[in-house]
Amino acid sequence: MRQSNSRRSLQQPIKTLFGQKLRPEFTIRERRQFRRRLSQAQIDDLCDRCARLQSRRRTTSDRKLQHVLHRDIETRSRARLDLVGTWRYAADPTTEVLCVGYAVDDAPVQIWTPDQPVPEEFIEAARRPDWLVAAHNDQFESAIEQRLLRPRYGWPLVRLERHRCTLAMARAAGLPGALENAALALGLPYQKDREGQRLMRRLSRLSGKDPDLAIEGPRLHRYCAQDVEVARALYYRLPAGCIDCDHRQRQLFDQH
């Protein structure tokens, strides 16, 4: 049974609202004419329905994954991160890891230092496909794991499709990207440790007159653990579907 011209002309342009391509014969003028046929309320309703479907799919998918490994890595180097970029910084021979803060789900935060064996939690996360790993600005943690921790300490790597970045999630939800600002905006129970942040900035640059880690180490570990708490609280506060498929694909592409 043939469809009427009016029904066919309405059905095809609706696909543009869901990210699908129009047929070549639909011109820009025709698309604009179609948009004028719908009220703003109808357009908002279609977009909301699409977002709810995406959120339901994303939430269902993540619930199948049993555990989330939250992590934060503190480093220092003669290279300047803001000048050379994440991947060159991670590959610089002077870059070293000071500590790694991590926690599985709601468990207490633990601290790893380079004189310890690789934590079993990271081995398990890499081995089992039902684990996620999360971090704020996950690209940095991924670069350090791939370029530094893996070659020096045999660190296990988790496949990128099981990474979650709370910075990307916050921006997708219309929140500030900085961890401190996102936590303030949401009124999270954990907030950024500003005094510890100043200490970290002093420790992060090798200059020949470096602070004694034996003295400053415990304070640094508390700062790192607090960052894990803040990022974990942000992860659970943000909606599971706030990153759409295209955003997730771009995130993966940027990290390859």
CATH of the domain at 85: 3.30.420.10
46 and 169, same domain (yes or no): no
Q: Which residues pair with 96 in a beta bridge?
A: 76
100 and 221, same domain (yes or no): yes
Q: How many domains does the chain have?
A: 2
Domain boundary among 41, 61, 81: 61
Domain that holds residue 184: 66-255
Helix (H, G, I), strand (E, B) or coil at 232: helix
Query: What distances in angstroms separate CA 38 from CA 9, 17, 116, 184, one per listed residue?
Result: 13, 12, 62, 38
37 and 161, same domain (yes or no): no
105 and 163, same domain (yes or no): yes
Give me the tens of pLDDT residue by residue for the chain, a chain 256 residues long. 444 444 443 343 334 433 444 444 445 555 455 444 445 555 555 555 545 544 444 444 454 558 999 999 999 999 999 999 999 999 999 999 999 999 999 999 999 999 999 999 999 999 999 999 999 999 999 999 999 999 999 999 999 989 999 999 999 888 999 999 999 999 999 999 999 999 999 888 887 676 778 788 999 999 999 999 999 999 999 876 665 444 554 555 455 4
56 and 102, same domain (yes or no): no
What's the predicted TM-score (pTM) here?
A: 0.72
